[in-house]
Amino acid sequence: MSKKAYEDIGFAKIDHLRIKRKGFPEVIFCQGKTPAQIAQIAKRIAANKHDVLATRADRKDFQAIKKVIKKAKYHPEARIVTFKNTGYRLRTTGSVAIITAGTSDIPVAEEAAVTAEFLGLKVDRIFDVGVAGIHRLASNLERINKAKAVIVVAGMEGALPSVVGGLIEQPVIAVPTSVGYGANFKGLSALLTMMNSCAPGVAVVNIDNGFGAAVMAFSILKSAGASPSPRGRGGKRG
């Protein structure tokens, strides 16, 4: 392996070759890291001409990144910091539909949506269409069927992905959330419901893992023939 495969900065080893393997650069998981550590990692990723994505970031984390990357942007509902440096765009005409069972599931859905958009995917947000009012889902089926992959985010008992999976042909990525009363066990009940789904074509990521769902959707579309392409260093920054 090349000595340049990763950069050792003491407390972290930054994988600068991840973009060649996965189609996107290393992502910073902020939870458990200090703002100073996060800022240093972000600075080194940007210095290598890569885009920056930091998940589970609070405003202190954002302010630390902002000091070293002036054009960094904070997405508070998603708890994500982004910076488009050179970037890439997924060549596809399709979109990813991101569906929530309830309004309380939106923060996890926004983590998925912002991540998907960062990766170059088109996103269609369809929120608050859970099984407690199934007619809301039915009235949005035409929109859902236009997507190439569907992310379904649900807490409580987590039934919505099974319903969606039984109605459409696209792959469904189910995201259990920790939303619910005590017997929800902080998302465990929704996780088990989704893992035991009898609807074919439903895969499940971890509790509250909107990021993981977006990356899976990106992988599905990329494997289906779409490919990321650099916009070039002269492109618009943001």
pLDDT at 159 over 90: yes
- Does residue 7 fall inside a structural domain? yes
Percent of the chain with pLDDT over 90: 72
The verdict on 118 and 153 lying in the same domain is: yes
At 144 the pLDDT is: 95
Does any domain span residue 235? no
Label residue 91 by pLDDT band (50, 70, 90): low
Interatomic CA distance for residues 205 and 188, integer angstroms: 12
List the one residue out of 29, 182, 183, 159 whose CA is nearest residue 99.
159
For the chain, give the mean pLDDT.
88
Interval 30-74: pLDDT, tens: 999 999 999 999 999 998 888 999 999 999 999 999 999 999 999
Quick one: 98 and 157 in the same domain?
yes
167 and 195 co-located in one domain: yes
pTM of the predicted structure, to 2 decimals? 0.88
Is 233 inside any structural domain?
no
Q: Is residue 163 part of a domain?
A: yes
Residues 101, 184 share a domain: yes
In a shared domain, residues 37 and 142: no
Q: Is 198 exposed, middle or buried (0-12, 13-18, 19+ CB in 10 A)?
A: exposed
Residues 81 and 187 in one domain: no
Tally of structural domains, the chain: 2
| 38 domain residue, yes or no | yes
State the residue range of the domain holding 122: 90-223
SS3 call for 202: strand
The answer to whether position 228 is within a domain reads no
Per-residue pLDDT of 160-195, as tens digits, reads 999 999 999 999 999 999 999 999 999 999 999 999
Number of alpha carbons in the 13 Å side-chain half-sphere of residue 225: 4
The owner of tokens 């765009």 is: 89
Question: Residue 236: what pLDDT?
Answer: 40
Judge if 157 and 65 occupy the same domain: no
Cβ atoms of residues 31 and 57 within 8 Å: no
Q: Which long-range contacts (CB under 8 A, 24 or more apart) does 222-226 make?
A: 222/23, 222/90, 224/148, 225/92, 226/90, 226/91, 226/92, 226/94
225 Rama sector, left if φ>0, alpha if ψ -120 to 50, beta otherwise: left
State residue 6's pLDDT score.
Answer: 83
Residue (of 172, 169, 135) closest to 154 by Cα position: 172
| CATH number reported for the structural domain that contains residue 123 in this entry | 3.40.50.1970
Q: What is the model's pLDDT at position 83?
A: 93
Angle between helices 210-223 and 106-118 (to 10 degrees): 40
Of 41, 58, 85, which marks where a domain is finished? 85
- Whether 46 and 96 share a structural domain: no
Spatial distance between the Cα atoms of 153 and 155, rounded to a whole number of angstroms: 7
Going by C-alpha positions, the residue among 56, 65, 76 that lies closest to residue 35 is: 65
> Is 59 in the same domain as 112?
no
Q: Give a yes or no: residue 157 inside a domain.
A: yes
Last residue of a domain, one of 56, 85, 114: 85
Same domain assignment for residues 104 and 28: no
Q: Is residue 47 part of a domain?
A: yes
**Residue 238 confidence (pLDDT):** 37
